[in-house]
């Protein structure tokens, strides 16, 4: 991104299932329209990249949830997280949408100007703050706070002798072999 003053026609916030679908629609329905997908994280996939706990899967069938322009072809309609993530990344790659994603770019603020008929976004990339303007802002950011997941109080948690892990921050090296995994609301615990 260049100094203040950069402009694209459409900004899509979020490179998950919805953001990739929005990118496809912009480039096919509005040819010649410039667009960028801003992703705060360093990977596409949204929910399906963020949550990596055992048994993560969709609660909606993928024949309905998937893209009409790239139908779900897997035999499992209630799909697991890794399969959905693969579907999203392969679709983005197949249609060149992945080339429009700006990773590590968090939207801090969005201001509309009626006089200019434009949005001006304040962005953070690493330690730098920049601006970007557009005429259409499309939010596909989902509803999770990626920095700090929802943490309800669980009575008795302080006396629980197992390991409690928030599913949003599942450690890749967690050894749960031979243990019972219990999912409670937004937390997984091990006995």
Output the CA–CA distances (angstroms, integers) from residue 75 to 48, 72, 78, 80, 159, in the order listed. Answer: 18, 9, 9, 12, 43
At residue 1 the predicted structure's pLDDT band, cuts being 50, 70 and 90, is: very low
pLDDT tens digit string along 75-101?
999 999 999 999 999 999 999 999 999
pTM score: 0.84
> What is the average pLDDT score of the chain?
88
In a domain, 77, yes or no: yes
Torsion on CA atoms 88, 92, 95, 97, rounded to nearest 10: 150
Residue 103 has pLDDT above 90, yes or no: yes
More confident of the two residues 184 and 151: 151
Stated as kind and residue range, the H or E segment containing 140 is none
In a domain, 167, yes or no: no
In a domain, 177, yes or no: no
In a domain, 154, yes or no: no
In a domain, 152, yes or no: no
Domain CATH for 121: 3.50.50.60
Residue 175 has pLDDT above 80, yes or no: yes
In a domain, 131, yes or no: yes
In a domain, 55, yes or no: yes
Range of the domain at 123: 6-139
pLDDT of amino acid 160: 82
**Once rounded to an integer, what is the mean pLDDT over residues 112-140?**
96
The total of structural domains in the chain comes to 1
Between CA 99 and CA 77 the distance in angstroms is 29
In a domain, 162, yes or no: no
Residue 119 has pLDDT above 80, yes or no: yes
């Amino acid at each position: 991104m260049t100094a203040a003053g950069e402009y694209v026609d459409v900004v899509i916030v979020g490179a998950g299932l919805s953001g990739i679908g929005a990118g496809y629609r912009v480039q096919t329905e509005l040819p010649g329209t410039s667009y960028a997908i801003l992703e705060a994280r360093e990977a596409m996939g949204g929910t399906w990249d963020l949550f990596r706990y055992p048994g993560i899967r969709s609660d909606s069938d993928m024949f309905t949830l998937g893209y009409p322009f790239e139908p779900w072809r897997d035999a499992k309609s209630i799909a697991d997280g890794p399969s959905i993530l693969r579907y999203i990344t392969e679709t983005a790659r197949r249609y060149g949408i992945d080339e429009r994603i700006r990773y590590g770019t968090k939207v801090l603020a969005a201001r509309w100007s009626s006089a200019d008929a434009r949005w001006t976004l304040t962005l953070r990339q690493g330690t730098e703050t920049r601006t970007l303007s557009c005429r259409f802002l499309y939010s596909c950011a989902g509803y999770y706070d990626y920095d700090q997941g929802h943490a309800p109080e669980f009575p008795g948690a302080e006396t629980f002798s197992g390991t409690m892990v928030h599913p949003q921050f599942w450690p890749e090296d967690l050894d749960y072999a031979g243990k019972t995994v219990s999912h409670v609301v937004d937390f997984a615990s091990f006995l």
